[in-house]
Structure 1
Amino acid sequence: KVTPATLNFGTVKLNQSKALVVTIQNVGNATCNFGAPNLSHAVMPGYASDFSITRGPGGPFSVAKRGQPGDQVEIEVTFAPLSVNTHGATLTFHTNDDPDVLATSAMCFLPNYQPPGAGDACIRVSGQSAQVDIEVVPDELDFGVVTVGCNSPEMKITVYNLGVFTIDVENIYLERQDGNFEIRSAPRLPYLAAGGSHFEIWLRYHPQDTNAHRNTLYIQSDASNAELLAVPLYGRGTLISDQTDVFHQATQVKSDVLFVIDNSGSMDWAQNQLTTHFTNFMSWAISQDVDYHIGVIATEVNDPEIDQGTPPREIKPGVLIQAPGRPKIITNQTPDINNAFKDNASIGVCCSGEQEAGLQAAWMALTEPLLSDPTANAGFLRDDAKLYIICISDEQDQSKGEVTFYADFFQNIKGPRNTEMMKLAALVQDATLPCNSQDGSAGTRYMDVARATGGIIDSVCGNWPQALQNLGIQAFTPIREFPLSRPADPNTITVTVNGASVPRATSQGGADGWSYYPDRNSVYFGDDVVPQRGDRIEVHYTAVCL
């Protein structure tokens, strides 16, 4: 007697494993002799590589007669998927001592492609695999300078489950319990993070002395991509509460602009509008002599596409697109800028059945390994430049994970309080009827990230020249908001530009002076007092003791 006749492992996460057992029980009055068990796929050899026999006979074996020691033998099969797929195999073995078929199920074949016969056991083995990714934002925390004996503001780490299956979070802990860093709040463990969800860990820095301090926050889980996440923590103690932060307005505005263009079948007209009116986008940059990087990626996140666009080129997920004879990063040194962009951005249309995932594509482009790969995106993103992402689509974003993850991730590239240094804009289908006689759907996910980052939202069906001009002004305008390094007492703040005092605005956000925003702990300059290129800004204040 062989049970069960099938082994169905269900869904197993990548880098995890699951074991099931087949039992061979002798119900007769004589010993049964078997050939070695074989695990294979009768139709597709090699397809069973993610299954293995992990316990049981390694060769021919015998099962003692009923009631005797050894009258039952177990064969353990383990499923340890290495790729996302549907997996299948067959477990077979044979005895000449039984005239019946021992076990079989529908569509189960022996290694010789024959159906099982007398003395054969043919057991179908199947399973699904799933990628369950965990991501943490930010990937490090710098608490800055804090007065000894005082507390920093509490800062958070957000942990995102980007998959659809639950992640088991087993432990959250600090590498050292040194009194300088502490976890203020975290989920009660063990914690089950549902697919597509997130949770927060809040921490605080309380320096015991004037040294620089380091620690590491660890998050242990059964996620496929990282079973142990490590988040470095930094801080430095001081005895001085008097603080002067110095900023320099760049002598030349630097801006890195990433166009994320939908390349599905309905977008050829939109690509034409973009390239036709690109001069409207560039007019402000040229008039202000901006130092810019401009790159283009598609919304494709799965498979590369070849011979796409005009002229034809290969499109790889998350990789800056380069038309033949054009640079993949367009700068103010690029000859014939308008035609260079036209060639790069004319990516063609295909793949209407593919996942249109602009947010995920931008995330891929701005993370490793693509970010520093010389054959991909190396050199595009500069530490001292603004980052401006423009998503153009007539469909809803289909990226994996929550919208909040992408907003959180993009903002943290430049620091969560550097609001002027990063924005995502959405030129997408709105809630009105589709334009240009094409089907479409509202790009609300793009809009949500644009709202969270302060970027412009406009309709892909609207006035392209005006929309692109507005986007260009926002992308290339100088910085006017500066985050302070320590929590400030608002009543002690004074501001100078090139040594000259700047007044506080008569109303919050007013044009005639600076305003302090406590939620961002930043100083904002109104329209009439925005520091010009090359200006030195000094903000003096007393740091509060929390």
Structure 2
Amino acid sequence: MMKERGGRRLIKLSLLAGLLAACHETGETRAVQATAAVDTNALDFGEVPVGEWREKVVRLRNVGYVPFHALEALKLGDNPSYEVSFDGDARLMPGEEKLVKVRFHPLAEGGSESSFQVRTDASSGKEHTVRVMGQGAPLTVRMEPEVLDFETLEVDSERVLRLTIINPVDLPLSVEVKGEAAAAFSAENITVPPLATYQLETKYFPRDLGQMRAQVEVRPCAACTPTVAGLTGRSVASAFEFDPAPVPFDSIPVHETTRSFTRARNITWRPVTIQALNTSDPAFTPLNAMTATEVKPGEVVQLPMQFAARFSGPNTGKLTVGYQSDKPRTAEVALDARGGRPTLAVAPLALDFGELPAGGKVGKTIRITNAGTTGNLYFRGVKATGNVEHFSVDVIQRGKAPQPWKPGSAWPALEAEDLPIAPGTDALDLTVYYEPKAPGAWRASLVLVSDDLFNPERTILLTGSARETGACVFTLKPQPEMDFGNLEPGRGAVLGFRFDNAGRAECAVKDIHISNDAGGAFTMPGGKIVGGVVPFDTAFSAMVSFRPPAAGDYVGELKLTVNDPANPTVTLPLRGTSRASCLVAAPAFVDFGPIRYDCATTPRRTLVSNQCATPVSVTETRIGAGTSDQYQLLSPLTLPRTLAPGEGFELEFSYARNVLGQHYSPFFVKEQAEPTPLMIPLLAETNHEGLQLDRFIQGTDSQLDVLFVVSNTTTMQDFQARLKAAMPGWLERARQAGVDVRIGVTSTGLSTRSPACANATAGGDAGRLVPADGSLPRTLSSSSATAAQGVQANIDALGLCHNLVQGLETMRQGLSSPLATSADDPRTPLPNDGNLGFLRATARLAVVVVSDEDDHSGFDPESYVQFLQALKGTGMAHRSQMYALVPTDARCTTAGGPGTRFSTVAQRTGGAVDSICQSDYGPFLDNLLQRAGGPQADFPLTAMPNGLAEMSVRVGGTTVGVDKWTYDTKHNTLVFKDGAVPVTGQTIEVRYRSVCAAP
């Protein structure tokens, strides 16, 4: 039927056309033709995202006067991005239009062209070709979220998140993961269906540390611009971030403890559970176990820590936090601590000034040091309680430089300007004066204050007594003044004064100083004299120097105080002039030096000459007022005497040497034209005659007193255990060798350490044998069957609680008065805590120090050497030695570095030094037994004999013939022959005249 209807239309159109042709001329025929037209020859779609559709229309119009049929619209070419739709075989009446629909559906980005043809049966415009074009633009795909943040997780763990992809077009979308860290991210290899919403599972599985980024790329075609969703994540070694890190600890002294903390924050996305806390070094201790503690994401937990300094210098470690995450894991944080913080060390801790006459004055020195190794200690002052009116302190001295107290502060509370004390040999010296105002026993406590964090104060016990005495009767020379005459500018000279006790009572003299120094022109070369006691018929002398800074006349004053209530203050005027002079003496002084009563003197000379270009006249020479009349001019002059330029005369002096002491006299030479005479100092000192008496006590070859000075600090546990382990075998070897060993133990603790030390002395044994409370026998003999167990128990009694090693000072305190000579220490409340009975006069002495760090007693080691050498008496220095088990190398970790102070004393006294790190102390202790054998046959003399004619030897009070001994000139030693060696306990006396010094 469709065909039939079409045929009928064609027939009708043909008939109409024929009729029109028959009825009209040519021009009229055109007027009734069917004419088709389109509204455009080109269609531009512009930019259209790939996969989207855009539609445009082309209008086909009948612009003639007769209808026509639109037959079809055909796309030309094979471009699939375009579609043309048109209802063909449509009759268009004149003036009507037909729409041709064109759709653009780009399948790729970039330009796209095609064309189509519209065909009609019109007489005019049967075919129209329309060009179409468009631009494929990037497609934006909606993805949620725009950035997929996996947050933070541990390395080698994973997290999966979903990304929503909404496909807005009828094309499938390909999905890929790309970017610099794409290997850490993964997604299923999928295609998103057309017009679908898809949940894409994306996984982050990092194998490296750090912040990582990648992206999911979605595109509708292989060459299309992708739509990107960001992927980000951070990989960390552990779930915890620590703040602070490293964990800081205060710089503290060795043996002290301090606390710190760190905050552990869970920086990952998942909750974790702490299982355990461990440290790499036992010096660091977690204070909370934290077991089974869950920590949520972002949550912070505090981890408190404690550090116990076991050695000086940097100390680092690690805190390991074991926790459960996706699997068992650990987190670590560095621990940063440092032992060796500044520590106040003071020695001694008690000053006993003995007895003085009321009004006297004496001083003793306290040394203040820094026992730390890192940073300065700052000394801040002193304060005192008790009978403070009888005591005082001088300014602090650093070497010879005084450090004044803070202005406005006064005794008994003096402040310092934070005086720094560096670790090592740096020290401050504080002189404490005892100046009793009245008879009686006086006692005070002096407290030294510093910035030591843990022990800022140390207390020194001050004791002394005073007796009543009569008024001092004395003479002071020279009188009426000390006259230095004239010295050329730039020159100086020394004279002196002499104080004689001319009465029957003792004189207490003090505060001897230059009270007026005339602008620094007058000084005392030996420094001011604190004071002392001058017994009846004795004297003392001291120098005064005059060194004028410029030409002129100078007046000064020397002042001293004596125990004369009516006239306590004594002054001596000082006078001197400095002007150019024609006279000069060479040498400028006459010095006889020290001379003995029994040694001859040689006259001394000086030449006085005229150094001017014109003659001068010498009108007077004389010995002025000095301290004595010991000098005599042996070359009298005829005066006046004229000296031509360069001419001079020699002066010769003798010295009588019949009055003990130092002697100073000025010799004046007057030139007529000069107002003040030239002064030439005459100087000499007379000493006792050289009759020597050396005394010795013969020791025994089978007696040995051993004082163990063992550190009681917190790091000594292993070393004390090694010493205890050596005791049984060593004492057994002593018994087999027939050596009677007497043993005492004390600690290196000089000051108390309360409350850390809970024993009777609070760790401050201060030389007392332990245990000071007598709860165990304190002196033990090797002859006892339980000696080893007793020594071991006493080592245990030392404890492990102290923080300051001052073993040299505790040794000195333990072996000297009052401890060594008293059953009770009068300075302490504990009864019967003296060391009486430990030292035997005839036994050798060995002091054995066991310490894992060096000594901090402050005073020079030489002072302790001299103490030990003098302990057994003159000539017996070799019978007292120190032995030291101290750090010598790095074979084990110790609280401090090499024990150089202990080692110095041990080596200087003939002892031995070895490492505290050795496992067996027995062989080292055997050295002591070897030194205890054999009686002493050789005795070194203290001076050089003047031949043997006046030498005599007595043993036990009986003179020994010269056939029993010899004199070793090379070693200056008296040597007993075989069979004549004194026996144990016998006293040896050697009398001889010593050699006079060369004149």
2:447 counterpart SS class: coil
Q: Give the structure, 1 or 2, with the largest relative contact order (CA under 8 Å, sep 6 or more).
A: 1
| Distance in 2, Cα, partners of 1:283 & 1:216 | 57
Q: Which amino acid aligns with 1:377?
A: N
Matched, 1:363 2:812: yes
For the pair shown, the structure with the greater C-alpha radius of gyration is 2
Cα separation, 1, equivalents of 2:534 and 2:943: 26
| Residue 381 (structure 2) aligns with | 11
* 1:473 has 2:473 as partner: no
Q: What do residues 400-440 of structure 1 show as CA deviations (whole Å, max 9, x unaligned)?
A: 2221222122222223532222111112111x2042x4444
Structure 2 contact 696–874 (Cα < 8 Å) conserved: no
Conserved 8 A contact 2:381-2:413? no
Provide the C-alpha distance between the structure 2 equivalents of 1:186 and 1:421, rounded to a whole number of angstroms.
43
Distance change >3 Å, CA 307–CA 465, structure 1 → 2: same
Query: 2:760 & 2:458 partners in 1: Cα distance?
Result: 36
Distance 1:132 1:245, change over 3 A: closer
Give, in whole Å, the separation in 2 of the partners of 1:300 and 1:482.
36
Work out the number of aligned pairs and report it: 359
Cα distance between partner residues in 1 of 2:703 and 2:835: 18
Contact persistence 1:275–1:342 (CA under 8 A): yes
Which of 856, 862, 871 is the aligned partner of 1:413?
871
Q: Do the aligned residues in 2 keep the contact of 1:249 with 1:534 (CA within 8 Å)?
A: yes
* Aligned partner of 2:880 among 422, 430, 434: 422
1:488 aligned partner: 945
Amino acid at match of 1:446: F
Q: Report the Cα offset of residue 378 of structure 1.
A: 2.0
* Counterparts of 2:983 and 2:736, CA distance in 1: 14
Name the SS of the counterpart of 2:849 in structure 1: strand
Cα distance between partner residues in 1 of 2:881 and 2:858 = 21
Tell me, yes or no, if the aligned pair for 1:429 and 1:443 is still in contact at 8 Å: yes
Q: TM-score, normalised by structure 2?
A: 0.30
Counterpart residue number, 2:788: 338
**Cα shift readout 1:457-498 (whole Å, capped 9, x = no counterpart):** 222123522111113322566435424476424677899999
Where does residue 445 of structure 1 map in the other structure? 901
Q: Identify which of 698, 719, 734 aligns with 1:270.
A: 719
Query: Which deviates further from its counterpart, 380-389 or 535-544?
Result: 535-544
Q: Does 1:296 align with 2:672?
A: no
2:190 counterpart residue number: none
- The alignment partner of 1:84 has SS state of strand
Check 1:253–1:482 CA distance in 2 against 1; reply closer, same or farther (3 A cut): farther
Is residue 175 from structure 1 mapped to residue 534 from structure 2 by the alignment? Answer: yes
**CA distance 1:439–1:534, change in 2 (3 Å):** closer
Quick check: 1:426–1:457 contact (8 Å CA) kept in 2? yes
- Percent identical among aligned pairs is 24
Distance 1:186 1:320, change over 3 A: farther
Work out the CA distance in 1 between the residues paired with 2:976 and 2:701.
18
Check the 8 A contact 1:434/1:440 in 2, yes or no.
no
Write out aligned runs for 1:494-505 (5 A): none
State the shift of 1:321 in Å: 0.6
Equivalent residues of 2:887, 2:916 under 8 A apart: yes
Q: Distance in 2 between matches of 1:539 and 1:364?
A: 29
Separation (CA, whole Å) in 1 of partners of 2:980 and 2:754: 46
Q: 1:366 to 1:451 in 2, by over 3 A?
A: same
Are 2:447 and 1:84 aligned?
A: yes
Q: Map residues 55-70 of structure 1 onto 2, 5 A cutoff.
A: none
Moved more, 536-545 or 450-459: 536-545
5+ residue gaps, structure 1: 1-8, 23-47, 53-80, 88-127, 134-166, 191-201, 209-214, 218-234, 505-513
> Could you give the per-residue CA deviations for residues 338-374 of structure 1, whole angstroms, max 9, x where no partner exists?
111111123455336x211110111221233333223
**Alpha-carbon distance between aligned partners in 1 of 2:746 and 2:735, rounded to the nearest angstrom:** 23
CA distance in 1, matches of 2:753, 2:980: 45
Report the alpha carbon displacement of residue 171 of structure 1 after superposing the two structures with TM: 4.7
Alpha-carbon distance in 1 for matches of 2:702, 2:846: 13
Given residue 543 of structure 1, which amino acid in structure 2 is its aligned partner?
R
The answer to whether the Cα contact below 8 Å between 2:701 and 2:934 also exists between their aligned partners in 1 is no
Amino acid at match of 1:175: V
Q: Aligned equivalents of 1:50 and 1:320: distance in 2?
A: 34
The equivalent of 1:378 in structure 2 is 836
AA of the residue aligned to 1:405: S
After TM superposition, the structure 1 = structure 2 runs for residues 64-463 of structure 1, keeping only pairs within 5 Å, are 82-86=445-449, 169-171=528-530, 175=534, 206=597, 249-250=698-699, 253-283=702-732, 285-303=734-752, 315=763, 316-322=765-771, 326-347=776-797, 349-351=799-801, 354-371=803-820, 372=822, 373=824, 374-415=832-873, 417-430=875-888, 432-435=889-892, 437-462=893-918, 463=920
RMSD (CA atoms): 5.4
Q: Distance in 2 between matches of 1:405 and 1:49?
A: 30
Unaligned runs of 5+ in 2: 1-378, 385-390, 394-404, 415-443, 451-456, 463-525, 547-556, 559-592, 600-659, 663-686, 825-831
Quick one: structure 1 residues 259 and 488, their matched pair in 2 at CA, closer, same or farther if it must change by over 3 Å?
same
CA contact (8 A) 1:245 1:485 kept: yes
Describe how 1:486-525 pairs up with structure 2 within 5 A. Answer: 487-489=944-946, 515=968, 518=971, 521-523=972-974
